[in-house]
Structure 1
Amino acid sequence: MAVRSRTGFYRQEVNRTVWEVPERYRDLKQVGTGAYGTVCSAWDRRSGAQVAIKKLHRPFQSKLFAKRAYRELRLLKHMKHENVIGLLDVFTAEIALDRFRDFYLVMPFMGTDLGKLMKIQRLSEDRVQFLVYQMLKGLKYIHSAGIIHRDLKPGNLAINPDCELKVLQLYLQPSRVKLFTRIILFHCLLFSFLIQILDFGLARQADAEMTGYVVTRWYRAPEVILNWMHYTQTVDIWSAGCIMAEMLLGKPLFKGNDHLDQLREIMKITGTPSADFVVKLQSQDAKNYLRSIPKVPKKDLRSIFNKADSNAVCVLEKMLLLDPEMRVSASEALDLPYFSEFRDTEEEMEALPYDQTMDNTDLPVEQWKRHTFTEILTFRPPKDGKETSL
């Protein structure tokens, strides 16, 4: 039952939590919940579109949570690329800082993610090509801002399949559609998925202590899993390679049960690292371990992906390298022949640099709260959107 609230806002209970949202957002339905917050779908009466609204779970309960909430807001505000989730609106029902407790992030509603999609259908190679192309465009943009995702996995790749469903309904009724239209629809069906990268730059070592939840390691670069060295943006390229491999195989490529088992699974394919690489590691324990294990040769990826296009295997060979310095960048990967038929270099844009000054700052909760409140007040919606609800 909706209850009237501050002028222009109303209250609604969602899963035993009170949401206080502007009148423009209607038909709230919970679609997901996690350690950091709850997400509802809603109908935006102003834009006439479905949106996703995320309410952060007690964002100012500790310095750790407050800093993460502030950083998530700033990252979302910064991102303006079709393959990276961005912010449509941000609001709080409070107009005074001393009463400020909660805020809400409004983003495009995507409907599903790559992980769920792969569970229900095997992807054709044309579609794999197009999805990986979009993922790399998004990574190029994020990396150009100086941001590392750190936890790229199928569940962090949101997909909007609305066009797919509409096209499929028409395509399956050939008697009602002329041949030419069916050909157009078929091509739309092949390439209708829009992919957007979520939760970039938020993965931290501290996440496990905040939530008690340890993320899956199947897509994580070996240098991250074992904390071998200071890592760079190529950790995301490793993850992209794992995701692409899973799309082509229909199952995860490296499915370890624990950290060391994960490394063993990886080295069955990459081979054991060279002495030159081991010397570069900062961890003496890692050096000792890698020097003690039996030497394994590198496996030819063509033997694993024997049904895949040779250009697809070439992409994987350049991504799934144990030495992070040898992996391609997102920008270099986009230059590979595998993506040539989709390329539109104007879409492969770069971001303005993201100011990370605050990322290494230790502030009391009240100051994080003040900074967050200021960020909400200074939000400007996308050019094709309307003003913020605050």
Structure 2
Amino acid sequence: QFHLAQRENGHIPSIHIPKAYINYRLDDTFIGKSTRNLVRKFDAPDGSSSIIVKKFYKPFDDVDRAKLTLRELNLLRTLRHPNVVRMVDKYTTDEKEAQLEAIYHITLHCGVPLSTIISEGCYTMARVKRWTRDLLSALQYINSIEVAHRNLNPDSMCISAANDQLTLLGFGKARVLNRAEINTQGRGKDAYMALEMRVDWNDVYDESVDMWSVGVILCEMLTGKKLFDCAAKNTKNIIQLFLKYCGPVPEVVYSKMTNQLDRSQYAKFEALGGQRQDFIQILKDKAGGSNMIGKDAIANEAHLKDFLDHTVQYDRKDRMSAAKALAHPFLSEVADPPKEENLFNAAIEACRSHVWRELHTSLAP
């Protein structure tokens, strides 16, 4: 039923694929963008398509990891959108439930990670706008079914070489929102996480955490450099960058921090003064690489500052929704006609799939 994939040089990774893909060739050059999980790319015999096989790493090592595994499988099974990765298979090589450890899923290969595209440069403002539009379209869809991605970063999206389309992936930390429940902090990568995800918080957060990340990623696409460069993972440095660029934390946000250390650190650096900076000037200061979008191109974007001023904001209520961002003048050149009815129908069909699954799942004994 399953085939143990083998590299051409004879090395055998611990990964199995269904016999239906036995003729697919393991791509030795592909390096999966996953911190722990084993990710491999397989190419069809005729080269017409490729698949990505992911093996979950120790999925039941703790409760948190078990929940994330279940959520990812549940979400990917029903997500259907042109800008969202598509799962085509899921399986285990274990024969008994009590022994379940080897969990796999297969998704369609979507292209080159955006992080690679950014590092290489040589793209235009028009392409940045199209990629931003595609990302927002994916977010509008998952938000319509009450899902927050929570891990948006340039490694969690790919660009197709065939049509330059952006596809959102990396749903390992996504979850269906419970607006009456305080959600887990610390999901995602430091450089892209909204404030309410990195501190102890006595309030819920919602899909607006993704909109903060959209603004931060847009800045990186324009300059080739992280807006909040947290390579050292130094919390104090991150706080200083937040306050340097975004200004003081408003009281309505500060009052929701429950950890005294968080509160004291922000208060300490806020005492140094400073107001929110002009993001166009920030981008111009960071720009300058010969293969990146130029300072003049950034300065000439009349609506860019307003777009960033409505995404990279401490207070979630000051961030626009994905739907509003799609209609923002910054993206007017690449705007698609409104598809509200299609979005509504897609949300209904996703819910229908969940209900169908529940109806065909046996009750617990």
The question of a shared fold, defined as TM-score above 0.5 by the shorter chain, is answered with: yes
**Structure with larger Rg:** 1
Q: Is the 8 A contact 1:24 1:44 kept in 2?
A: no
Partner of 1:106: 106
Partner of 1:29: 27
Q: Is the 8 A contact 1:158 1:196 kept in 2?
A: yes
- Report % sequence identity: 25
1:349 aligns with 2:343: yes
Q: How far, CA to CA, are the matches of 1:343 and 1:241 in structure 2?
A: 18
Shift of residue 35 of structure 1?
Answer: 4.5
**Structure 2: which 5+ runs fail to align?**
176-182, 285-295, 352-356
Calculate the TM-score normalised by the size of structure 1. Answer: 0.71
Q: Is the 8 A contact 1:84 1:197 kept in 2?
A: yes
Shift of residue 59 of structure 1?
Answer: 3.1
Q: How far, CA to CA, are the matches of 1:18 and 1:284 in structure 2?
A: 45
Superposed counterparts of 1:242-261, under 5 Å? 242-256=216-230, 257=232, 258-261=234-237
Question: Structure 1's 301 and 11: CA in aligned 2 closer, same or farther, altered over 3 A?
Answer: closer
**The one of 266, 269, 272 aligned to 2:245:** 269
Deviations 1:273-308 (A, max 9, x none): 233443344444444443442221121223234532
Question: Structure 1's 47 and 89: CA in aligned 2 closer, same or farther, altered over 3 A?
Answer: farther
Deviations 1:5-25 (A, max 9, x none): x4xx43334654343323331
What is the letter of the counterpart of residue 299 of structure 1? Q
Larger deviation, residues 54-63 vs 345-354:
345-354
**Structure 1: which 5+ runs fail to align?**
1-5, 164-191, 209-213, 356-373, 379-390
Q: Is the 8 A contact 2:27 2:40 kept in 1?
A: yes
Partner of 1:310: 302
Question: Structure 1's 271 and 62: CA in aligned 2 closer, same or farther, altered over 3 A?
Answer: closer
Superposed counterparts of 1:157-306, under 5 Å? 157-161=157-161, 163=162, 192-200=163-171, 202=173, 216-230=189-203, 231-256=205-230, 257=232, 258-292=234-268, 293-305=271-283
What is the letter of the counterpart of residue 18 of structure 2? P
Calculate the TM-score normalised by the size of structure 2. Answer: 0.76
Question: Structure 1's 322 and 83: CA in aligned 2 closer, same or farther, altered over 3 A?
Answer: same
Partner of 1:387: none
Q: Is the 8 A contact 1:21 1:93 kept in 2?
A: no
Deviations 1:312-370 (A, max 9, x none): 22211111112222111111111111222322222872553888xxxxxxxxxxxxxxx
Q: Give the secondary structure class of the aligned counterpart of 1:352.
A: helix
Q: How far, CA to CA, are the matches of 1:206 and 1:322 in structure 2?
A: 18
Shift of residue 245 of structure 1?
Answer: 0.6
The CA RMSD measured in Å over matched residues stands at 3.3
Q: How far, CA to CA, are the matches of 1:334 and 1:88 in structure 2?
A: 29
Q: Give the secondary structure class of the aligned counterpart of 1:17.
A: coil
Question: Structure 1's 301 and 325: CA in aligned 2 closer, same or farther, altered over 3 A?
Answer: same
Structure number with higher relative contact order (C-alpha < 8 Å, ≥ 6 residues apart): 1
Q: How far, CA to CA, are the matches of 2:60 and 2:305 in structure 1?
A: 46
Superposed counterparts of 1:21-60, under 5 Å? 21-25=17-21, 26-29=24-27, 31-33=30-32, 34-44=34-44, 49-60=49-60
What is the letter of the counterpart of residue 19 of structure 2? E
